[in-house]
């Protein structure tokens, strides 16, 4: 089995196939998770808004997968409460049909939430509740009070998307898979019209190599169409859709780490969220068809302004430039269904995944969600090996490390800091603590008093195959998006670690650092004048 693409979809396929005992390899052209799988809203959810679109199979699939991920990755996937405030004058909160009179909206929402819970088939324990105004404002004091009507609280879950991708890859390696990053599939090896492998370019060794496999899977997300075009008789249709998030300082938007806020209506008929993440608040997202360079999506000034004005409809505070720490944009690999009447708004195109086997033998795994990555892996397995039993996914893949074990490491971090690290490193947290115990000097700088970023970088270099400056600062540590200096302040220290651990030549590192500074300046330019 050769899986091309090291985002969450490829990681899920590799994991399922490795667990089933298949000889599995996965290649990724940049760093693992660096494309869409680091740029999601980080929600593991059924998708409350698909409920009003009456896409019940989609909601049910998401809810079941959420429950599965909560039980298989208990260290990384955590329940998250959603505060849903409703205001007078909303046209279609949560995309609710406009014929429902506003007096019946509260009741319809409660019925909807009850269905949402029922779709978990009894596995969801936390039930939604109606809140009194003072309870709602205690959870989110920054919400607008004028025209407030009522609020509800319901439950879904959250996970760091990169942490989940890396955990799935770790587990697939534990079960024998071989994974490689910075290795790009460039050409298919074809024998009698059938794909029998690929020629890949190794960006680290700067040379080409051949990989042969009985089954080749294209799991390259929005890039799937480009890769398919290189194979004989393989047509793939995708509708890339761009989604932007702003990363906001929590100073005016104080949210508890396990509560988020639903912005019940946007001007283009969707919903948006304020989500706690990395001690900050994510505001997102947008949803618009995208044409352009797939490899470097970036927010535009217009998108930043529009997100701010959507949020301010529901806020009693004003978000100003210093409150914006960063931003990121991702591309959804939405499936284009030629047979169906295509929706014009990308927000209404289904998030369902699709597995297409082309006559060349190449298998394309298209669409999907972070939430459904294991199901995508299972469905790919079933398509490739009909009649064979997929692995039983019952035992936790990423259990919580035992607190007693962590204590023996003698690391003096607060309980909440340890919790935040477990959310990122899961069952591998003890390795990070070993690094801290070995090199106490790496405990500083301590971002927000909780994250020892240099020790984390060393962990990713030693155990996570991180080999480049941008991969570390953006994808692994997220400093590109969560710090106003984008992590430029620790650039030299990161380069020092890469040089010491991997023997990377200083000139090559300098070139990477200079490219990183240019990228950081481009991100700043987007916010000029906002």
Ligand X SMILES: Cc1cc2nc3c(=O)[nH]c(=O)nc-3n(C[C@H](O)[C@H](O)[C@H](O)COP(=O)(O)OP(=O)(O)OC[C@H]3O[C@@H](n4cnc5c(N)ncnc54)[C@H](O)[C@@H]3O)c2cc1C
Give the footprint of ligand X on this chain (CB under 6 A): 4-10, 27-30, 34-37, 39-43, 184-185, 219-223, 227, 243, 285, 330-333, 368-371
CB of 76 to ligand X, least distance (A): 14
Nearer to ligand X, 34 or 234 (CB): 34
Q: What whole-number distance in Å separates Cα of residue 445 and Cα of residue 78?
A: 27
CB of 489 to ligand X, least distance (A): 27
CB of 441 to ligand X, least distance (A): 33
CB of 418 to ligand X, least distance (A): 25
Nearer to ligand X, 247 or 436 (CB): 247
- Of 370, 301, 365, 367, which Cα lies nearest the Cα of 329? 301
- Of 299, 208, 309, which Cα lies nearest the Cα of 246? 299
Print burial letters for 498-519: b (CB count within 10 Å at least 16), e (below 16): beeeeebeeeebeebbeebeeb
Nearer to ligand X, 14 or 432 (CB): 14
Nearer to ligand X, 165 or 429 (CB): 165
Q: What whole-number distance in Å separates Cα of residue 4 and Cα of residue 421?
A: 30
CB of 257 to ligand X, least distance (A): 17
Print burial letters for 348-369: b (CB count within 10 Å at least 16), e (below 16): ebbbbbbbbebebbbbbbbbbb
The residue count of the chain comes to: 530
3-state secondary structure of 57: helix
Nearer to ligand X, 44 or 406 (CB): 44
CB of 98 to ligand X, least distance (A): 26
SS3 content of the chain, % helix, strand, coil (to 5): 40, 20, 40
Nearer to ligand X, 283 or 453 (CB): 283
Q: What whole-number distance in Å separates Cα of residue 129 and Cα of residue 108?
A: 14
Identify the bridge partners of residue 198 per DSSP, sorted by sequence position. 188, 211
Nearer to ligand X, 222 or 420 (CB): 222
- Of 361, 332, 37, which Cα lies nearest the Cα of 190? 361
Angle formed by the axes of helices 453-463 and 491-502, to 10°?
30
CB of 491 to ligand X, least distance (A): 23
Nearer to ligand X, 305 or 407 (CB): 305
CB of 465 to ligand X, least distance (A): 14
Nearer to ligand X, 306 or 450 (CB): 306
The one-character DSSP state at 402 is P
Q: What is the 3-state secondary structure (H, E, C) of 412-437?
A: CCCHHHHHHHHHHHHHHHHHHHHHHH
Question: Strands 25-27 and 2-4: what pairing?
Answer: parallel
3-state secondary structure of 355: strand
- Are the C-beta atoms of residues 290 and 69 closer than 8 Å to each other? no
Nearer to ligand X, 41 or 363 (CB): 41
CB of 244 to ligand X, least distance (A): 7
CB of 227 to ligand X, least distance (A): 5
């Amino acid at each position: 089995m050769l899986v091309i693409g090291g985002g969450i979809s490829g990681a899920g396929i590799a994991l399922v196939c490795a667990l089933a005992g298949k000889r599995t390899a996965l290649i990724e052209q940049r760093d693992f998770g660096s494309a869409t799988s680091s740029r999601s809203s980080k929600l593991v959810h059924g998708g409350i808004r698909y409920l009003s679109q009456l896409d019940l199979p989609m909601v049910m699939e998401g809810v079941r997968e959420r429950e599965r991920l909560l039980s298989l990755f208990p260290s990384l996937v955590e329940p998250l409460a959603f505060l849903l405030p409703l205001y007078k004058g909303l046209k279609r909160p949560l995309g609710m049909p406009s014929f429902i009179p506003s007096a019946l909206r509260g009741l319809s929402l409660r019925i909807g939430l009850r269905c949402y819970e029922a779709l978990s088939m009894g596995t969801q324990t936390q039930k939604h509740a109606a809140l009194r105004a003072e309870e709602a404002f205690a959870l989110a004091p920054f919400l607008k009070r004028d025209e407030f009507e009522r609020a509800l609280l319901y439950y879904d879950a959250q996970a760091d998307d990169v942490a989940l991708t890396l955990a799935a890859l770790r587990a697939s390696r534990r079960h024998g898979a071989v994974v490689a990053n910075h290795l790009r599939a460039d050409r298919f090896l074809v024998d009698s019209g059938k794909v029998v492998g690929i020629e890949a370019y190794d960006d680290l060794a700067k040379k080409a190599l051949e990989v042969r496999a009985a089954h080749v899977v294209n799991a390259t997300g929005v890039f799937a169409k480009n890769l398919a075009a290189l194979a004989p008789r393989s047509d793939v249709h995708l509708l890339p859709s761009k989604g932007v998030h702003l990363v906001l300082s929590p100073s005016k938007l104080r949210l508890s780490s396990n509560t988020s806020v639903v912005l019940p209506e946007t001007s283009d008929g969707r919903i948006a969220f304020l989500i706690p993440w990395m001690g900050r608040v994510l505001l997102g997202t947008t949803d618009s068809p995208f044409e352009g360079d797939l490899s470097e999506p970036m927010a535009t000034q217009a998108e930043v302004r529009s997100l701010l004005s959507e949020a301010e409809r529901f806020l009693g505070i004003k978000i100003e430039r210093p409150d914006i720490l960063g931003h990121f944009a991702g591309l959804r690999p939405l499936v284009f269904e030629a047979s169906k009447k295509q929706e014009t708004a990308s927000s209404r195109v289904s998030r369902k995944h699709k597995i297409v086997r082309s006559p060349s033998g190449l298998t394309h795994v298209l669409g999907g969600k972070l939430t459904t990555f294991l199901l995508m892996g299972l469905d790919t397995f079933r398509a490739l090996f009909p009649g064979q039993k997929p692995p039983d996914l019952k035992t936790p893949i990423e259990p919580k490390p035992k607190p007693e074990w962590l204590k023996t490491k003698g690391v003096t971090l607060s309980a909440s800091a340890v919790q935040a690290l477990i959310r990122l490193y899961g069952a591998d947290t003890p390795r990070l603590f070993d690094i801290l115990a070995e090199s106490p000097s790496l405990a500083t700088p301590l971002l927000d008093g909780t994250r020892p970023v240099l020790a984390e970088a060393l962990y990713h270099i030693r155990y996570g195959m991180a080999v480049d400056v941008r991969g570390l600062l953006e994808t692994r540590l997220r400093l590109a998006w969560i710090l106003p200096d984008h992590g430029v302040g620790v650039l030299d220290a990161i380069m020092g670690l890469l040089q010491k651990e991997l023997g990377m030549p200083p000139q090559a590192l300098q070139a990477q650092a200079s490219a990183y500074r240019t990228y950081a300046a481009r991100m700043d330019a987007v916010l000029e004048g906002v």
